[in-house]
Amino acid sequence: MTVWWFATLKAEQLDEVLEIEQASFQRPWNRRAFEDEFACRDAVHYAVLSPGSRRIIGYLFVRAMSSEMHLLKIAVAPRWRRCGVAAWALRQCFEKARSRGFERMVLEVRATNRAAIGLYVKLGFSKIGTRSRYYADTGEDALVMAKLLES
């Protein structure tokens, strides 16, 4: 039985998010980038909280674009990885998006990010395209992946 909590992420939880962000990405977002996202009208952000301390163990940032939800970011704190947190959180997010009438979830992922690609494939995403040399820091391609949100 899953005992994590899924909740809307609040701006006052940003310090906890920044800590996980630093440990998770080659080019982490800075505080300003998160603040801009919080200010964006079409943005939705969720937190996964640990059962006891209610500390943040993962988060997702999505944006509504027409009938699609775009997954901008998902990360799980290193010591909570491979416990099913990300898969569970994404399924929660699918439910929320479906209930708001969104038809598809779309994302971009570094072509070398095996963990993330494994996660997305497991949850039913398929590759719909490639953006060549999309990531300026390494020149890596981005895979564009999508999943229909039918019920």
Ligand X SMILES: CC(C)(COP(=O)(O)OP(=O)(O)OC[C@H]1O[C@@H](n2cnc3c(N)ncnc32)[C@H](O)[C@@H]1OP(=O)(O)O)[C@@H](O)C(=O)NCCC(=O)NCCS
Q: What are the φ/ψ torsions at residue 102 (nearest 5 degrees)?
A: -75, 145
Closer residue to ligand X (CB): 21 or 102 = 21
Summarize the chain as % helix, strand, coil (round to 5): 35, 35, 35
State which residue, 75 or 149, has the beta carbon closest to ligand X: 75
What is the distance between the alpha carbons of residues 94 and 79, in angstroms, rounded to a whole number?
A: 25
Min separation Cβ 76 and ligand X, Å: 4
Query: Between 7 and 116, whose beta carbon lies closer to ligand X?
Result: 116
CB of 30 to ligand X, least distance (A): 16
Q: Give the strand pairing for 142-148 and 126-131.
A: antiparallel
Question: Which CB sits closer to ligand X, 14 or 83?
Answer: 83
- Rounded to whole angstroms, the Cα distance separating 73 from 65 reads 15
Among 7, 90, 6, 72, smallest CA distance to 36 is for 72
Nearer to ligand X, 14 or 124 (CB): 124
The residues that touch ligand X, with contacts defined as CB under 6 A, are 24-25, 73-76, 81-87, 109, 113-116, 118-119, 122
> Beta strands 68-76 and 56-65: pairing type?
antiparallel
CB of 40 vs ligand X, minimal distance in Å: 17
Compute the least distance from the CB of residue 48 to ligand X, in Å: 9
Least distance CB 7 / ligand X (angstroms): 17
